[in-house]
Structure 1
Amino acid sequence: MAMINQLGVTQLDSLLYFAKMHMLLFSQEWKLTGLYPNHRSFLGWDEADLDNFRFDTSFLEPNSLSLPAFLGQFHQKNHVVKNYYWIDVSGQIQGPFETYFRLKKESGLVQTAMAFVKISSQNNKPEVKPEEKHKLFLAESIPGLIHNVFGPLGTISGRIEILKNKYPQYREFDELLKMTQRIQQSLKNVSYKVTNERQSQPVYVDVNDFLKEELIFLQSDLFFRNQVVRNVKYQQNLPRAYTFYSSLSGILGEFYLFFRKFVYEDQEYQLQVESFSEQNKIGFYFNFLGNFQIPADLELRFPFDLRGDFRQVAQQKLDGLDESFLSHCLSKNKGTLEISVRKDMMTLRFLFPAQKI
């Protein structure tokens, strides 16, 4: 390849080491012909394994692609940058990893291909920005904080109840009791959410209960509470799902943060929420209606969308949306999602298996 001839193997190896990348060379038949840096394996593959690496099973299949579909991603260009999954030498799916593919063509036919794959130990995990990390430390203290508040609040509520019964002529006790009950309800909502999200194993989830609790929690955002008019429709007798609660709330939370970036702070929005079932799957639907704007720091243009399972979502890019996190959530619940955005509408449709994973 021209790059190898220009840089020399030693300089190329140094560059790849510095960038924490691997370079893979493929022939016209999509056989792996070279791995760089030298003396460094790629997901366990090394020079001795070149003949065992198959482009179809080690790259195309984990990304749910055929060769024509993969080549179609280049859109008449000679390069593409996407997040892709790869199969390691033991046959396990790894990634997604940011990958730069470049094709060399003659007479419209691929002669050789080159892939730069960026791998780090954190690449397949949602990344937390340093300036956001303090929020994780605060979140860890929430269960203890709720416990510490519940006890004294229960005592206060009990004392108010006694005083109300003793002095029924003072209606102020009714107001105080209502206020303590509202606080207790808010704490119960946060406790429910935190308890379920901290579970490291799947739990049984009633989608309707999930939506009710999440809609209450979203009211902690004053914009949602005061400027979003909600119309909710629950399908009755839905089967429960056995899945990771945090993988459901993570998708909804990421979508809501995305929605907030596009709103006019002084305008009102309509929200339609529905739960539903399709064959052996269940899901929910969020549809925000109103006037949306694209922030100046996002390179987007109406309309745009994102859809698919965890592999497909990982390969797509919407500025302002954390596709890696969404892919992580989808890999946990085996679901598929659609996010579509127009000037007057923003929609999330999420579907996942009802049966035990």
Structure 2
Amino acid sequence: MAVSTHGEIGQQGYGSVAGVANKIRAAIESVIEGKPEAVRLALTVMLAEGHLLIEDVPGVGKTMLAKALAKSVDGSVRRVQFTPDLLPSDITGVSAYNQERREFEFMPGPVFANILVGDEINRASPKTQSALLECMEERQVTVDGTTYPLEPPFMVIATQNPIEMEGTYPLPEAQRDRFTARISMGYPSPQSELEMLDVHGRVSPLDNLSPVATVADVRRLVETVRQVHVAAGVKQYAIDLVNATRNHPDLRLGASPRATLQLIRAGRARAALEEREYVLPDDLQALAVPVLGHRLLPTAEAQVERRRPEQVVTEIVSRLPVRG
């Protein structure tokens, strides 16, 4: 049974945001061992009204993190296993002819949920991957000329294997740009792996995970996060960070204006999680790599030298002066 936090959030204080988020975090960490930063970033993306891309090798808990976040919020959750034969209509839905009514009626697909878990998204064809573009950006689906809105909150949590692995397709640039942040799980520490063997070896911890917040709670949290103040100097710093990626010699594709907007939104969420009513440059610096790194494309020379976009972003953050 979900634990309602209506009273706490109703106080409209940023401490309530952190309090409810801590309950969700604790619930997720009861399933995911030794990955507090990944869990914190997942919560940040949810409060920023964004979407999360989890990339790493198989078996490190990508899908487990996605499921744990989805289950900790008492909303509708749908999971789609992306495969090469998956069709766009398998995600968005399809219009089917009703013999009794003698008319076509829309059969909603799994995208009509509060949280859509897309497992191994880059194993589907680019055409199928692109079926998510409209719903991720505009929170709606258009089928046969009719537009259907998606109920807020709506969040896509997608996992993908590294593109070097067999049977994967690179995500289109337009779709990568719609993910607010990308995180990598990484291998657990020996101690965390030992604890995982003790806990997961007998029963799946997801079976015992109960929701600790409702969809209405999340809506109120998001509304509170929107009120976090962003000073003009901080906005300018965000623009400077993004512009630096567009002019860097090691990058052939820099970050888009959408990246600037999502960096600010994520900064608001991070500030609220720390019980602040204003965004600091430190928030943008902490979020720069996960928010910007997956949107950038290195030059051929940088690829030969094994220069990853994340390294470029880290250098930009260390060298770019904070104005204002």
TM-score (norm 1): 0.25
Task: Select the structure that is richer in helix.
Answer: 2
TM-score normalized with structure 2 length? 0.27
Higher relative contact order (CA 8 A, sep 6+): 2
Bigger Cα Rg: 1
